[in-house]
């Protein structure tokens, strides 16, 4: 069974929520980039940035959860909602485990490992989500977009590991990071474009 967007107000609403969430995600990405370049600000300035970041993140989270819930409901495909929600649940549980650790050096390494596991969860379930979106919409942009993002982050991490102990100019490191970030932004744009041109979705 195929549901066309012009005949389904629920599908239209789900698409709007998801596009709002993705737009807020782009704003958050820009905010983090600006924040990393603004270490010279005083504590009050950093606190204001953190409050704005937290507000945007909560708004994005709510819009994303509502959007994917509506999309899963109209398509009768709970995998879409599970793939979208589970990384946040895993992040919350792993962060709680990190808070229970003490502040010793050994536990700092453990917290870093927990954050790495969180990134692995986000990467895996984001791929599963976009692969499922490609399957039910027959639009390859979703899967291609998440693969581009993954390759860009892998490129940044690989180059960072290689140049981590090398004496290179900061401009080189910044250039590599900027190149990878632009590539990831292109992948994000591909996923957004997939939702913009969403016309139909198949359901069992």
| Domain chopping of the chain, boundaries | 2-202
pLDDT at 56: 86
What average pLDDT does the chain have? Answer: 81
Q: Is the per-residue pLDDT at 147 higher than 80?
A: yes
Query: What H or E segment, with its residue span, contains residue 9?
Result: helix 9-36
The pair of structure tokens assigned to 8 is 């389904």
Q: Is the per-residue pLDDT at 41 higher than 60?
A: no
Interhelix angle for 78-100 vs 43-75, to 10°? 150
Query: What H or E segment, with its residue span, contains residue 186?
Result: helix 170-196
Q: Is the per-residue pLDDT at 77 higher than 70?
A: yes
3-state helix, strand and coil shares in percent for the chain, rounded to the nearest 5 = 85, 5, 15
Q: How confident is the model at residue 118 (pLDDT cuts 50, 70, 90)?
A: confident
CA 56 distance to own-chain centroid: 14
CA atoms of 194 and 7, how far apart (whole Å)? 19
Name residues whose C-beta falls within 8 Å of residue 107's C-beta, 6 or more positions apart in sequence. Answer: 101
Tell whether the torsion through CA atoms of 104, 106, 107 and 113 is positive or negative.
positive
In DSSP terms, 4 is beta-bridged to 200
How much is the pTM? 0.84
Q: Is the per-residue pLDDT at 32 higher than 90?
A: no
Query: What H or E segment, with its residue span, contains residue 2?
Result: strand 2-4
CA atoms of 172 and 164, how far apart (whole Å)? 12
Query: What H or E segment, with its residue span, contains residue 168?
Result: none
Determine the 3-state secondary structure of 169 from DSSP: coil
């Amino acid at each position: 069974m195929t549901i066309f967007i012009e005949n389904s107000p629920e599908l239209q609403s789900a698409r709007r929520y998801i596009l709002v969430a993705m737009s807020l995600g782009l704003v958050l990405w820009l905010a983090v980039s600006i924040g990393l370049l603004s270490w010279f600000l005083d504590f009050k300035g950093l606190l204001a940035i953190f409050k704005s970041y937290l507000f945007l993140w909560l708004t994005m989270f709510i819009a994303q959860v509502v959007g994917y819930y509506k999309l899963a409901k109209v398509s009768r495909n709970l995998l879409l909602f599970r793939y979208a929600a589970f990384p946040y649940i895993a992040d919350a549980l792993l962060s709680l485990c990190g808070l229970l650790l003490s502040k010793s050096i050994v536990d700092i390494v453990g917290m870093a490992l927990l954050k790495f596991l969180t990134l692995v969860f986000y990467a895996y379930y984001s791929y599963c989500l976009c692969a499922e979106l490609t399957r039910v919409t027959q639009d390859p942009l979703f899967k291609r977009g998440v693969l581009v993002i993954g390759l860009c982050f892998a490129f940044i991490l690989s180059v960072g590991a290689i140049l981590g102990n090398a004496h290179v100019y900061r401009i080189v490191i910044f250039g590599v990071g900027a190149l990878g970030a632009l590539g990831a932004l292109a992948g994000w744009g591909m996923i957004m474009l997939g939702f913009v041109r969403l016309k139909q979705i198949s359901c069992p």
